[in-house]
Structure 1
Amino acid sequence: MEQESLKESISLLNSFINSIHFSDPQAYRDLIIFPLYSDMVKDNGYMLLDEALQTEKFRIQEISDGGSVPELTVTNELDSDVLLLEGDILVGAKQNRTVNTTIIVGKGSKLVIPVSCVEQGRWRYKTRGFRSSKFTVDPDIRKMKAKTVSQSLRHSRQFRADQGGVWNTISEKMRRHNYYSESMDVDELYESRQDSFQDYERSFSYKDQQIGIAVFNGNELSGCDIFGVKGIMYKTFKKIISGYIFEGIEKSYWLRGKRESLDFALLKGKLDNFLKSLHSLSKEVFKSVGEGNDIRFDSPEITGYAIEHNSKIVHIAGFYYPEAEQGPYFRNRRWRGEEP
């Protein structure tokens, strides 16, 4: 990749981040979602995963009959690029997976994509292909994947996540929720909390011209998802917030229904500082799995990535992930007011 092209991708990303602004948040219990906006959004030329899977021309399958845990094959026979979002859960085949990074599958192309298993206890065919879950994986898993994929890219130029860490996180969640899944299926765990999901979903709605969300769990920032092309936030709003909602459900569970005292002026200041940090962080550009570039940024407190394609910022995901508190064990103790 030419040096000048790398600089252009980073400059475009920084300009886009600088354009982001927000309005007053929506809230339910201790979950607070700020709508994000920008005047730099571009026209959308992408089909989303859920839309593509409804056709017979887009397929996700095991890489071979024997399969490979960290890899799947995607075949796109459509006359449109297809957008797979990091955090999407793929259900079926030999075991359920989640996508390790946002990927643009070019029209008429076939790719091997990097994934992580989110169903440790099954390695047998349920179906030959995959369908898409209505949930995305929650921020605990997404943060870990973002951080470890960035490390993998620097060390080996591969989009590999810490599979053992993903399994351990899911196992901890099952134990803490006193939920048993024969196959350790995180999608099944989310489904078991459907009644609670609906309570949260009724309190959050898409706002006109909204291109992203920034989410707080109490007075602590969790992360953001931002789309620089039109229509994606509108189409994916319910699915994108599902992972953050589960985090809110977890916090309510740990606090036994107690509520934090929320300071919305403080939250706005934290969000403003977070966006400034995203802009100022050092960034590295890697060739994406599919079309475009994958831009990575990390600090001791923040991790994330952005996808740039044809001079468009397609997706940004940024997470507050302080090194001293990585993993649900320390976070849950902090929620209860205990020292890690």
Structure 2
Amino acid sequence: MEYSIHNLIGEVTFGEMQNFSNLTVFPTFYNVDNKVSYLSLNIALDNGYVKIGEVSESGTVNNLYVENLSEHYILLLDGEELIGAKQNRVLNSTILLDKKSKTEIPVSCVESGRWSYQSKHFSSSDRIMSSKSKSRKMQDVNLNFERNEGYLKFQADQRRVWNSVDELLNTRKAFSSSSAMSDAFESSRDKMEDYLKSFKYLENQSGFVIAINNKIIGFEYISDPQIFSIYFKKLLRGYVIDALDNQKKNAAIITTEQARNFIMSVKDAKQFNDKSIGLGNSFRFTGENCIAASLIEKDEVIHYSQLYKDTADIEPEEQYGGQSTIRRRHGDGFSSRD
């Protein structure tokens, strides 16, 4: 295992557990000197430092064009939603944009019913895709790494992403004229805010381990605590949306030991890595029951995300049983489903 990731998972410490309803969060801390400085996508967009648009006037579903106009590195997170242009997308992988750079980035569509310009450029939303959807998408990309799929390495199964969006819209009973993931989140905004106001960012916090129904399903880490504070609620929303539809009573209390064991479980996973889009290297981990991805630049873990596979399909007592996945080929450059 790459030593910087080994150090992270071995030395992370935990804050006091926070809980609301069926969602539990363990704040995490990691004492490390950050050598790489960068901005969040939201801050970069707000300051006009970055422009994101279609690769051409006609566009293509699974790629976008990004120009960093600034002298700052800019971080784009795996699963982060981009809204506007011809249809809403999510990032397929975490990307660190170089200063004054132009980059083509891999994305997945999360709005299958629209293929017309809403705006020339994209803006950033206040959410990351649901943890369940992100887990499925990460499995696709990791499998591409395992199969050494060349330039397709960062592509996901578009049809499976659409199916995940449909599933989310159905479970949230949300109407969407364009089958947009954003409508599922917006339809549940008030309920989600009840959760979000119960969780507080702590000083120097750089991550969290999270459980739904006391089943640990995710670990998120960003190297710069200040940047993590910006992403804190944005990341949480991706878990809260899944918590709304999986409420159970009388579940056992999760301990810090279980949280640590979850993080450490990646040590037994298969590992693959290659040059990332933009700066750094992308490290991928596929275990019997967990899936993970990390971006490393200058020997520093910039972002790390670890999830259980198809989390909603795993009961608490089955957390160490693997889930099979189906990978299907998807087309390129089309705007709606066959």
Say whether the fold is shared (TM-score over 0.5).
yes
Aligned position for 1:302: 290
1:190 matches 2:190: no
Matched to 1:31, the amino acid is: L
CA-to-aligned-CA distance 1:239-271 (integer Å, 9 cap, x gap): 11111111111213xxxxx52333234xx3321
Aligned position for 1:255: none
Aligned residues: 315
Shift of 1:224: 1.0
Shift of 1:44: 5.2
Query: Aligned equivalents of 1:230 and 1:109: distance in 2?
Result: 25
Residue pair 1:211, 1:226 contacting (<8 A) in 2 also: yes
Residue pair 1:44, 1:230 contacting (<8 A) in 2 also: no
Matched to 1:170, the amino acid is: V
Q: Structure 1 stretches (4+) deviating beyond 4 angstroms?
A: none
How high is the sequence identity, in percent, across the aligned residues?
29
Aligned position for 2:331: none
Aligned position for 2:15: 23
Aligned position for 1:213: 208
Aligned position for 2:125: 133
Query: Aligned equivalents of 1:44 and 1:238: distance in 2?
Result: 23
1:245 matches 2:245: no
Aligned position for 1:145: 137
Aligned position for 1:312: 300
Shift of 1:120: 0.7
- Give the stretch that moved more between structures: 216-225 or 95-104: 216-225
Matched to 2:16, the amino acid is: D
1:48 matches 2:40: yes
- Give the stretch that moved more between structures: 28-37 or 271-280: 271-280
Matched to 1:235, the amino acid is: I
Residue pair 1:84, 1:103 contacting (<8 A) in 2 also: yes
1:204 matches 2:204: no
Mark the runs of 5 or more structure 2 residues left unpaired by the alignment.
Answer: 324-338
SS at match of 1:250: coil
CA-to-aligned-CA distance 1:128-176 (integer Å, 9 cap, x gap): 1100011111101110111101112232132011111111111122223
Shift of 1:97: 0.2
Residue pair 1:103, 1:288 contacting (<8 A) in 2 also: yes
Residue pair 1:30, 1:260 contacting (<8 A) in 2 also: no
CA-to-aligned-CA distance 1:46-99 (integer Å, 9 cap, x gap): 011001112334100000011110000000110111100111100000000000
Matched to 1:231, the amino acid is: Q
Residue pair 1:76, 1:107 contacting (<8 A) in 2 also: yes
Matched to 1:304, the amino acid is: A
Query: Aligned equivalents of 1:176 and 1:312: distance in 2?
Result: 39
1:269 matches 2:257: yes
Mark the runs of 5 or more structure 1 residues left unpaired by the alignment.
Answer: 1-6, 253-257
Alpha carbons of structure 1 residues 63 and 307: separation in structure 2 relative to 1, 3 Å: same
Shift of 1:327: 7.2
Matched to 1:307, the amino acid is: L
C-alpha RMSD over aligned residues: 2.0
Shift of 1:276: 1.8
Query: Aligned equivalents of 2:139 and 2:83: distance in 1?
Result: 24
Aligned position for 1:283: 271
1:121 matches 2:113: yes
- When the two structures are superposed, what TM-score results if normalisation uses the length of structure 1? 0.88
Aligned position for 1:75: 67
Task: Indicate the structure with greater helix content.
Answer: 1
